[in-house]
């Protein structure tokens, strides 16, 4: 049975001035539906229901039901004659509008452009998404062979330096670091352990940047620095994506300094003083 459009909205009842209680089942439905959209966004080509169900640990009927609803609403497309799904044009339209409305991106863009022109490497602006990061803007290096990361792409712990920087400056070094290090999945790179993750987080906090010579065994590395807003809370990162053979261990000091200068200038433009100590 295909869910009705209204089934994606929790039923609400008023609980007095300014108080609202939500239908728990409706809220769970929204969480499940959003997880499916986020997973779908990680595929370049249309994907089968079986693959999504396997990745999310859900049943095929559950995934199929939500996809049918998203398709009715225009958020998902189903190519003609195929049993696969992809994100729809409605999401593209909303994504464009969200990028235009995002103050952080509009403030950061001139600084990102200047950094890209200076270092001639792909420059990425990423914001927090749960415990991970979601790319808001990507300026390619301009070289004949370049690296591109699509806006909307999600970068995840534990391997992404961008995700680690966002996590580090949001949560710090404490009990949550120990807990997070224990629960993360290190199966992709067995040599990268919980202890390595904790060292990386602590180093990021001490040095205001993180890096990885090779993030996912694909010949690509990355460097990232935190961006803060007026409350001095981390809201984003400025990062560089470049071939692994272009990153030493540690990365070139001049490259790191250019990245730090950019992150500090964006943070200052957002009203933050968080970079003052580091830049001194």
What is this structure's pTM?
Answer: 0.69
CB 138 within 8 A of CB 151: yes
What's the average pLDDT block by block, 10 residues per block, for the chain (280 residues)?
29 34 68 85 84 90 90 86 83 65 83 96 91 90 88 90 97 94 90 94 97 86 96 96 90 96 96 84
- pLDDT for the residue 212: 94
Greatest C-alpha distance within the chain: 62
The domains of the chain are located at: 5-92, 102-279
Cα dihedral 132, 93, 7, 70, rounded to 10, equals -80
- pLDDT for the residue 217: 74
Look up the CATH architecture of domain 5-92.
Orthogonal Bundle (1.10)
| φ, ψ (nearest 5 deg) of residue 240 | -120, 135
Angle subtended at Cα 80 by Cα 78 and Cα 83, rounded to the nearest 5 degrees: 55
3-state secondary structure labels for all residues of the chain? CCCCHHHHCCCEEECCCCCEEECHHHHHHHHHHHHHHHHHCCCCCCEEHHHHHHHHCCCHHHHHHHHHHHHHHCCEECCCCCCEEEECHHHHHHHHHHHHHCHHHHHHHHHHHHHHHHHCCEEEEEEEECCEEEEEEEECCCCCCCCCCCCCCEECCCCCHHHHHHHHHHHCCCHHHHHHHHHCCCCCCCCCCHHHHHHHHHHHHHHCCEEECCCCCCCEEEEEEEEECCCCCEEEEEEEEEEHHHCCCCCCHHHHHHHHHHHHHHHHHCCCCCCHHHHC
CB 142 within 8 A of CB 112: no
Which residue, among 33, 34, 262, 207, has the nearest Cα to 129 in the 3D structure? 34
The residues near 122 (Cβ < 8 Å, ≥ 6 apart) are 116, 138, 139, 140, 141, 146, 147, 148, 149, 240, 241, 242
Locus of tokens 């609202």: 20
Pairing of strands 154-155, 210-212: unpaired
CATH class of 102-279: alpha beta
CB 275 within 8 A of CB 261: no
CB 191 within 8 A of CB 163: no
The residues near 18 (Cβ < 8 Å, ≥ 6 apart) are none
- pLDDT for the residue 21: 41
């Amino acid at each position: 049975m295909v869910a009705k459009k209204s089934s994606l909205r929790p039923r609400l009842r008023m609980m007095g001035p300014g108080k609202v209680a939500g239908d728990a089942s409706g809220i769970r439905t929204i969480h499940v539906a959003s997880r499916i959209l986020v997973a779908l966004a990680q595929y370049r080509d249309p994907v089968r229901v079986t693959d999504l169900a396997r990745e999310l640990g859900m049943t095929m009927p559950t995934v199929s039901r939500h996809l049918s609803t998203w398709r009715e609403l225009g958020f998902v497309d189903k190519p003609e004659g195929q049993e696969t799904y992809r994100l729809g044009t409605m999401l593209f339209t909303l994504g464009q509008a969200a990028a235009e409305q995002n103050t952080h991106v509009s403030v950061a863009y001139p600084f990102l452009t200047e950094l890209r022109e200076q270092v001639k490497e792909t420059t990425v602006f990423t914001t927090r998404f749960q415990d991970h990061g979601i790319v808001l803007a990507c300026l390619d290096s301009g070289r004949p062979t370049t690296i591109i990361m699509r806006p909307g792409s999600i970068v995840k712990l534990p391997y992404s330096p961008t995700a680690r920087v966002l996590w580090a400056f949001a949560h710090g070094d404490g009990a949550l670091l120990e807990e997070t290090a224990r629960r993360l999945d290190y199966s992709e790179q067995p040599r990268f352990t919980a202890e390595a993750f904790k060292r990386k987080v602590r180093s990021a906090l001490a040095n205001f940047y993180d890096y990885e010579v090779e993030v996912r065994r694909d010949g690509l590395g990355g460097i990232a620095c935190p961006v803060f807003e007026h409350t001095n809370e981390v809201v984003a990162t400025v990062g560089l994506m470049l071939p692994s053979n272009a990153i030493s261990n540690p990365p070139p000091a001049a490259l790191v300094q250019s990245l730090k200068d950019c992150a500090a200038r964006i943070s200052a433009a957002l009203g933050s003083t968080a970079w003052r100590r580091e830049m001194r």
